[in-house]
């Protein structure tokens, strides 16, 4: 009977190994986009991606904000706590490699009944002190595999910490760029308002001299007030990004307003960037590496669950002293000891071992599917960010030319209007168009920087090793 059970357990163990090998072969093997391997005007194959990518913006205030966020952000603190918890779990599991030793001391008094047997009633007492030991000998690797699983979980927690740092740097940089973009839009509005006020003065002078109708004055005021009406909305948006940055920095808004409210320029950055080699792009991402660690951990747990089908060997023992008289406790005649090697083999458990293995197998399959999904998401994010950044640069180049032509159009139309050679409507159209062009240019510059930040985040840059 024992030989049959042993054979069944061994066959089940081997079948699990084969199944695991087949399962792990299901990992993603689809090729990455071909265009990633092509060099171009915007992207260069340079390895590795600069970890402190935000320093390329040459904005010392942004550098300081990210440094403060790294030091004070609560998401980072929670990630550190998760690492500490994973490390504790690892050392707890490693503790199973060692014997468990306990110290037992006490005094015992017992009295037997004289009415339960022919023996007379009696009382006895004794003192004892001993060390007991229990040690599981890891013959089939159950403990080793569970330790490996916790080691992989610990490594995954460190990858999650890296991911938090990358996301934090990207969020701070994105909020900062959005803040500067709105501040620049506000400056554009104020500058155009000043220009429109000058045009209004010109129309008033021409009206007072009888050269034009009052309609020109009313239209000039309409354009001016329409431009000024956008200021409150921009100021509200600026306040929102200041409060968002305050949360990321782990501070209150009133503490950061003096630093962030002064108007700052958008970083003037339109440079080719190094994106690394395609395979390394994905493998440097902490979410991909964390998913890979999770697969390894689940694979180890599956192996451990299979080891539970096999016998467990224990070495138990104790050594101590016992005596009726406390003065005799430490004498050699009072010494006691016990050595008890033991074997434990679960033959029937109501399906618990079977279902534990099924659970481990299902969790392994889930982790593999999650790994594949993570890789696909990484490919999508990198590809989208690359295309968006490349096209944003083209848009900025075009909008700069449009803005320059808008300035020239306003100048010419205003000159012709002063000479009475052109209707005021041309000046109004030129004013509206120039305001729109300048706003679009600022927005495109901000969007380009945001796409660049998204690209570095997608590449796993920002807090690598």
In a domain, 221, yes or no: yes
For residue 303, what are its two tokens? Answer: 């192996």
Angle subtended at Cα 279 by Cα 277 and Cα 283, rounded to the nearest 5 degrees: 115
Report the CATH number at residue 290: 1.20.1600.10
Most confident segment among 178-182, 303-307, 418-422: 178-182
Q: Evaluate whether 275 touches 459 at the Cβ level (below 8 Å).
A: yes
Q: Evaluate whether 397 touches 440 at the Cβ level (below 8 Å).
A: no
Residue closest to 72 by CA, chosen among 286, 247, 256: 247
Q: Evaluate whether 176 touches 62 at the Cβ level (below 8 Å).
A: yes
**b/e per residue, 297-312, with b = 16+ CB within 10 A?**
bbbbbbbbbbbbbbeb
Q: Evaluate whether 170 touches 454 at the Cβ level (below 8 Å).
A: yes
User: Which alpha helices (DSSP H) does 209-285 contain, by range?
Assistant: 214-228, 231-248, 253-260, 278-283
pLDDT at 224 over 50: yes
pLDDT score for 181: 93
- In whole angstroms, what separates CA 240 from the centre of its chain? 24
- The model's confidence at residue 36, banded by pLDDT at 50, 70 and 90, is very low
Over residues 248-286, the pLDDT tens digits come to 998 898 989 999 999 988 888 766 665 555 556 677 788
pLDDT score for 274: 57
- Establish whether the linkage from the previous residue to 405 is cis, with ω within 30° of 0: no
Strand 312-323 relative to strand 100-112, pairing: unpaired
C-beta atoms surrounding 222 within 10 Å: 11
Over residues 90-106, the pLDDT tens digits come to 888 888 888 888 888 88
In a domain, 235, yes or no: yes
In a domain, 346, yes or no: no
Report the 3 state secondary structure along 319-358: EEEEECCHHHCCCHHHEEEEEEEEEECCCCCCCHHHHHHH
pLDDT score for 234: 93
In a domain, 344, yes or no: no
Over residues 412-464, the pLDDT tens digits come to 999 988 888 888 888 888 989 999 999 999 999 999 999 989 888 888 875 44
pLDDT score for 179: 95
pLDDT at 216 over 60: yes
Provide CB contacts within 8 A for 104, sequence distance 6+: 128, 129, 130, 131, 132, 318, 320
In a domain, 113, yes or no: no
| Mean pLDDT of all residues belonging to the chain | 81
pLDDT score for 349: 76
In a domain, 163, yes or no: yes
Which domain, by its residues, includes 49?
2-99+139-312+352-458
pLDDT at 19 over 60: no
Q: Which of 28-37, 47-56, 137-146, 267-276 has the lowest mean pLDDT?
A: 28-37
- The model's confidence at residue 404, banded by pLDDT at 50, 70 and 90, is very high
Task: State whether residue 209 is helix, strand or coil.
Answer: coil
In a domain, 184, yes or no: yes
The count of structural domains within the chain is: 1
For residue 9, what are its two tokens? Answer: 């357990």
Mean pLDDT in residue range 178-206: 90
Q: Which of 267-276, 347-356, 392-401 has the lowest mean pLDDT?
A: 267-276
pLDDT score for 408: 92
In a domain, 110, yes or no: no
């Amino acid at each position: 009977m024992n030989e049959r059970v042993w054979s069944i357990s061994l066959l089940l163990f081997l079948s699990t190994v084969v199944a695991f090998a087949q399962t792990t072969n299901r990992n993603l093997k689809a090729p990455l986009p071909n265009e990633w391997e092509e060099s171009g005007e915007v992207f260069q194959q340079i390895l590795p991606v600069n970890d402190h990518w935000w320093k390329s913006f040459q904005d010392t205030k942004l550098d300081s904000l990210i440094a403060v966020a790294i030091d004070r952000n609560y998401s980072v603190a929670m990630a550190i706590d998760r690492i500490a918890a994973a490390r504790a779990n690892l050392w707890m599991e490693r503790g199973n490699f060692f014997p468990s030793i306990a110290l037992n001391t006490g005094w015992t008094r017992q009295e037997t009944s004289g009415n339960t047997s022919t023996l007379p009633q009696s009382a006895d007492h004794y003192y004892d002190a001993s060390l007991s030991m229990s040690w599981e000998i890891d013959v089939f690797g159950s403990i080793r595999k569970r330790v490996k699983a916790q080691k992989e979980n610990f490594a995954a927690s460190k990858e999650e910490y890296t991911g938090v740092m990358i996301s934090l740097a990207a969020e701070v940089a994105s909020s900062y760029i959005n803040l500067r973009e709105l501040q620049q839009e506000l400056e554009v509005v104020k500058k155009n308002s000043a220009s429109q006020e000058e045009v209004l003065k010109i129309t008033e002078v021409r009206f007072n001299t009888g050269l034009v109708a009052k309609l020109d004055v009313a239209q000039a005021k309409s354009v001016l007030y329409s431009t000024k009406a956008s200021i409150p909305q921009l100021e509200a948006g600026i306040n929102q990004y200041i409060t968002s940055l305050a949360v990321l920095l782990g501070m209150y808004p009133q503490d950061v307003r003096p630093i962030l409210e002064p108007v700052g320029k958008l970083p003037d950055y339109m440079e080719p960037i190094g994106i690394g080699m395609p395979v390394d792009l994905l493998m440097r991402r902490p979410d991909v590496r964390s998913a890979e660690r999770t697969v390894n951990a689940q694979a180890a747990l599956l192996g451990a669950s299979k080891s539970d089908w096999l016998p467990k060997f224990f070495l138990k023992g104790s050594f101590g002293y016992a005596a009726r008289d406390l003065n005799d406790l430490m004498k050699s005649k009072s010494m006691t000891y016990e050595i008890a090697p033991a074997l434990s083999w679960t033959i029937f458990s109501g399906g618990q071992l079977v279902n534990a293995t099924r659970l481990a197998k299902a969790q392994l399959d889930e982790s593999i599917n999650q790994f594949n999904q993570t890789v696909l998401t990484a490919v999508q994010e990198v590809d989208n960010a690359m295309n968006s950044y490349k096209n944003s640069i083209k848009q900025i180049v075009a909008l700069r030319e449009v803005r320059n032509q808008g300035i020239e159009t306003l100048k010419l139309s205003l000159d012709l209007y002063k000479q009475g050679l052109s209707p005021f409507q041309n000046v109004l159209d030129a004013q509206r168009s120039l305001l729109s062009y300048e706003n679009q240019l600022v927005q495109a510059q901000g969007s380009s920087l945001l796409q660049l930040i998204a690209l570095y985040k997608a590449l796993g840059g920002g807090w690598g090793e």
